[in-house]
Amino acid sequence: MYFTKAIVRRPAASCGAGLTTAQSGAPDYNRTLTQFHAYCDALRTHGVELIELPTLDAFPDSHFVEDVAVVTPEFAVITRPGAPARRGEIDSIGAPLAAHRTLLPMQDGRLDGGDVMLVGKRFYIGLTGRTDATGIAAFEKLVAPYGYTVEAIPVGAGLHLKSVVNYLGDDVLLVTEALAEHPAFKGFRLMEIDATDEYACNTLRINDTLVTPAGYPRVHEKIDTLGVPLHVIDTSEFRKMDGGLTCLSLRF
Ligand code: CIR
């Protein structure tokens, strides 16, 4: 899909109070903002016009906008985030999206956008600590009338499905060992990465470029063989809060 727009939200000063399993210390706020601006610049450079939403101090994870909605060419599903502390973030995503898409609010279950990978008209949705079977069924009911299909993928380790598999375009999936054998991914060209490089699995295809986290030379070397230019950016402060590249924007 060619993206022309993306919604981002400026990180709040409270961002260090968000949810995390990383145990790598608190993020530095100034560095968080610097990295956020570099991310925004990367998206703009590759042809995306940004809609920047203001900070939400009461929601320290709210700059991870990917989790609160799933946008397709026809509609935007407003999710029911799996972490209770993040549920209230949905109240401020409907209005900016309503200007661009028909809104389909989920009514049941739990689902994070980070668990949703779209390839063509097929959604692969991670069954994780954040997304349950009820949420996937509720999501499927909303998207089926538009001709989309849904496949649930149980994810053993990792926060979200897109922590361990991402679609890079041209039938290529970047995937960790744990999911490489999954039958759902049989028809793809798989690019497998080591468990130690798992964080870099969250590489983001933006139009004709792959935006990928700094510090993973083995992954860079591998994806460089695709012949798609790489744009490497530092995400150290987001990583401290279990965040990566896809989670920082809603692209459409
Ligand atoms: C959380 O635990 O919800 C946030 N600290 C990180 C969310 C990252 N979201 C994503 O990768 N889609």
CB 176 within 8 A of CB 185: no
Domain count for the chain: 1
Q: Which atom of ligand 1 is nearest to the CA of 67?
A: 12
Total Cβ atoms within 10 A of residue 2: 9
pLDDT for 158 equals 84
| Active site (annotated) includes residue 247 | yes
Cα torsion angle, 133, 136, 137, 138, sign: positive
pLDDT for 81 equals 98
From 63, 64, 130, 204, give the residue whose CB has the most ligand 1 atoms within 8 Å, as the site to mutate.
64
Regarding the beta carbon of 18 and ligand 1, being less than 6 Å apart is answered yes
Domain of residue 116, residue span: 5-251
Regarding the beta carbon of 115 and ligand 1, being less than 6 Å apart is answered no
Cα–Cα dist 236/36, whole Å? 11
Regarding the beta carbon of 40 and ligand 1, being less than 6 Å apart is answered no
- pLDDT per residue as tens digits for the range 158-190: 899 999 999 999 999 999 998 999 999 999 999
Q: Which residues of the chain have pLDDT under 70?
A: none
- Give me the long-range contacts of 208-216 (CB less than 8 A, separation at least 24): 208/46, 209/46, 210/168, 211/39, 211/42, 211/43, 211/46, 211/245, 212/245, 213/239, 213/244, 213/245
Quick one: three-class SS letters along 154-202? ECCCCCCHHHCEEEEECCEEEEEHHHHCCHHHCCCEEEEECHHHHHHHC
C-alpha of residue 173 to centroid of ligand 1, in Å: 21
pLDDT for 157 equals 83
Spatial CA neighbour of 139 closest among 156, 116, 164, 161 = 116
pLDDT for 1 equals 81
| Catalytic pick among 46, 160, 182, 231 | 160
Regarding the beta carbon of 247 and ligand 1, being less than 6 Å apart is answered yes
CATH number of residue 112's parent domain: 3.75.10.10
pLDDT for 33 equals 98
pLDDT for 226 equals 97
pLDDT for 129 equals 96
String of DSSP letters for the chain: ----EEEEEPPPGGGGGS-----S-PPPHHHHHHHHHHHHHHHHHTT-EEEEEPP-TT-TTTT-GGGGEEE-SSEEEE-B-SSGGGGGGGGGTHHHHHTTSEEEE--SS-B-GGGEEEETTEEEEEESSS--HHHHHHHHHHHGGGT-EEEEEE--SSSSGGGTEEEEETTEEEEEHHHHT-GGGTTSEEEEE-GGGGGGG--EEETTEEEEETT-HHHHHHHHTTTPPEEEE--HHHHTTT--SGGG-EE-
pLDDT for 12 equals 98
Residue 27: both structure tokens together: 């993020």
- Separation of CA 104 from chain center: 19
User: How are beta strands 204-206 and 250-251 bridged, if at all?
Assistant: unpaired
